[in-house]
Structures are given as C-alpha cells and as structure tokens.
Amino acid sequence: MQKFTSLFFLLFIPFYLLCQTDEEKINKIVQDGIFLHDKHEYLKAIKKYKEAFHIDAKSALAHYELALTYTEMKDYNNAGYHANKVIKQKGDYLIQAYMVKGTILDEKGNTKKSIKLFKKAQEKTDGHYLLNYNLGINYFKLGNLEKASAQFVEAIQRNKVHASSHLYLALAQKRKQDIVPSLLPTFYFLLLEPESERATNAHRLLDDNLHGNVSLDAVDDAQINITVDDDKNNKYASIELLIGLSSAANQTEENKSLSKSDLFINNTRLIMSSLAGLRLPEDDIWTTLYIPFFDRLERSDHFETYCYYILQTKNAKADEWVEGHQTEIEAFFVWLNEG
C-alpha cells in the first residue's frame, strides 16, 4: 500500500519539475532567494539559498549569493566563509567572490589588505574590469591618485561602457587639478548615465571644470580673472585658457539673450573642436578614446542632440527638448551603435 501511495503522489508532481536538471533547480531556488534579498528579507533569503545545498553542497552560485547577503547584513565572518568556498573551487563566480572578499576587507578598515587581495585576484584570473575598478577605488581612498587613475583607465579599456570608472577617473583627475583630463571622462559618463542621482553630481563636477577658473575681480566688478595652470607639463593649458575665455564670454551683453542650453552647446562645441586640433604625441586614454570620440561627435549631425541628452536632468528646457525629439535621440543611438 505504501508503494502505491508513493506512486500516486509521484503522478501528480508537475512533469516539468521531473525533467529539470540539478543546475536548473538550483537556479530556481537562488532566483527565489535573490527576490527575497532585494526585498531586504535577508534571513529568508539565506534560508532559501541553503536549500540549494540539498542538491549540491558545493554550489558556487549559492555560496556566492550567501556571501553577498551576509555582506549586506555586515555579517563579515559568514560572508568571508562563503566567499572562500567559491574561491577554493577556482571555477564559476571566482572573480565575484574575490570582489566580495575584497569589499569585506575594505569595509573592516583593511584597505591595504583589500588591495593585495585584488592584485592576487588579477594574477589568479584573466583579469576583469571590476577588479581594476575596485582597486582604483581603494587607491582613491588612500589618496594615491596616480595608481587610482591607472586602474580606472584599465577598467575602461576592458569595458568602455562602465560608467563608474569614467566618473571616478574624472574625480581623480579633478583632485589633481587637471581640468581637461577631468572634463572629458565627465562628458563620457553623462552620455552613459544622464538621468541618475550620480548625474547630478557629475554636472556639479562639469560646471566646476567649465567655470571654476573664472572669477570676478575683488575690486572691479567689470573685470574677470581667468586662472590657468602655466606648468610646462600641462599640455592642455591652451584649452584651459579657452575654457576660461568661453565662460567669461557667457557673461557679456552679447550672449545675455542666449539660453543656458545654447551657451553650453556653443562652449562645448568650441572645446571639442579645439581639442581635436591639438598635437599630442602621447598615446593615452585621452588621445585614443576621449578626444577622437568627441571629435567625431562634434563633426556629426548629432552633437546638439548629445548636448540636450546629457543636460536633461539639469535643465528643464533640455528635458522638454528630449521629450519632443525622440526621432533625433533614436538616430543618435543608431550612430553610436554603428561607431
């Protein structure tokens, strides 16, 4: 009778469940856990992830997601335990587990140890843009701007659409008081992420780079002072002067009738076209990525569209323009995808 009862219930189990592989079953369990994690129901998520171990006690995916959830709970001992389980397997989710472990070290105040771990991860793997990015963040925290910038540059070379690397490269260059090397990755970041909360901060950075070297004279209000770094090693000194002159020209009677969007478009176009005319012998990310890209953009039919697109969270007129010119926006993205 017992055998008959078991067979009876077996017949009512959905056929697709019987056909699922162990990997598919684990993926379904983990997805349910991720859903709970995203709802901040961390204890329920942990309980769900652990169900996967009834199928495969070594599941790298389950261990990795557990490490993430424990990290979110700031339970770093358990997070490190599950990250190590993944690292020891040297298989799937290896890079992600290294990043979790490095983050744990940094959160615990061991930033230098975190750097060593990320370097080890680079040696043990083929490398990954997120390893470079996290290394860059750690160097940035320690104030080592040269090494931070180098890591952000490598991250971008591995993945040109990683917005965070462009933003932090811009911030690192700004701390070094390098206006143009900060300006260009900011422009690029806003192309990738024009509507986020971070875009608001990026616009502040952009404004500071575009107008920060211009000030009214303390004695004579009619006199405008422009500060330019005349260091012989500053290969962008002429562009800095141009930026200052453009910013000062915005305040003249002649330009008072122009909107902020129009002034931004005019000034940005002048900067981009002038940068393209510089003779810069060094091969770096500015001469091989940013300047060539913005040169092509400035000479295309999509430059004005680009300017309105990146201004949309800052400027009501730009937001209205984007809403009313979806055909131009679509054409712009077709151009981007082709190039």
What is the predicted pLDDT for the residue at 216? 44
What is the predicted pLDDT for the residue at 277? 87
Higher pLDDT, 225 or 212: 212
Dist. CA 337–CA 30, nearest whole Å:
34
pLDDT(75) > 50: yes
What is the predicted pLDDT for the residue at 245? 84
pLDDT(9) > 50: no
Average pLDDT along the chain: 88
Tell me the pLDDT band of 12, cut-offs 50, 70 and 90: very low
What is the predicted pLDDT for the residue at 258? 80
Q: Which helix (H) or strand (E) holds 183?
A: helix 179-192
Tell me the pLDDT band of 212, cut-offs 50, 70 and 90: low
Higher pLDDT, 60 or 226: 60
What is the predicted pLDDT for the residue at 5? 44
42 vs 74, 194, 280, CA distance in Å?
11, 32, 53
Tokens (6 digits) for 306:
């680009």
pLDDT(74) > 80: yes
pLDDT(19) > 80: no
Average of per-residue pLDDT across 82-86: 96
What is the predicted pLDDT for the residue at 35? 96
Tokens (6 digits) for 53:
């171990």
In whole angstroms, what separates CA 109 from the centre of its chain?
A: 23
What is the predicted pLDDT for the residue at 228? 57
Three-state secondary structure along 193-249?
Answer: CCCCHHHHHHHHHHHHHHHCCEEECCCCCCCEEECCCCCCCCCCHHHHHHHHHHHHH
pLDDT above 90 as % of the chain: 71
Average of per-residue pLDDT across 146-171: 97
Task: Residue count of the chain, please give it.
Answer: 339
pLDDT above 70 as % of the chain: 86
- The one-letter amino acid code at 31 reads Q
pLDDT(182) > 50: yes
Q: Which of 150-187 are b and which e, b meaning 16 or more Cβ less than 10 Å from the residue's Cβ?
A: bbbbbbbebeeebbbbbbbbbbbbbeeebbbbbbbbbb
Higher pLDDT, 323 or 280: 323
**Among the listed residues 282, 278, 210, the one whose alpha carbon sits nearest the alpha carbon of residue 247:** 210
Where does residue 280 fall: left (phi above 0), alpha (psi -120 to 50 degrees), or beta otherwise?
Answer: beta
∠ at Cα 338 (335, 339), nearest 5°?
Answer: 85
pLDDT(214) > 70: no
pLDDT(267) > 70: yes
116-127 residue pLDDT tens: 999 999 999 989
**Among the listed residues 63, 73, 71, the one whose alpha carbon sits nearest the alpha carbon of residue 41:** 73
What is the predicted pLDDT for the residue at 255? 67
What is the predicted pLDDT for the residue at 259? 83
216-266 residue pLDDT tens: 444 444 455 556 566 657 889 889 888 888 877 776 666 677 888 888 999
What is the predicted pLDDT for the residue at 227? 60
Q: What is the DSSP letter of 143?
A: T
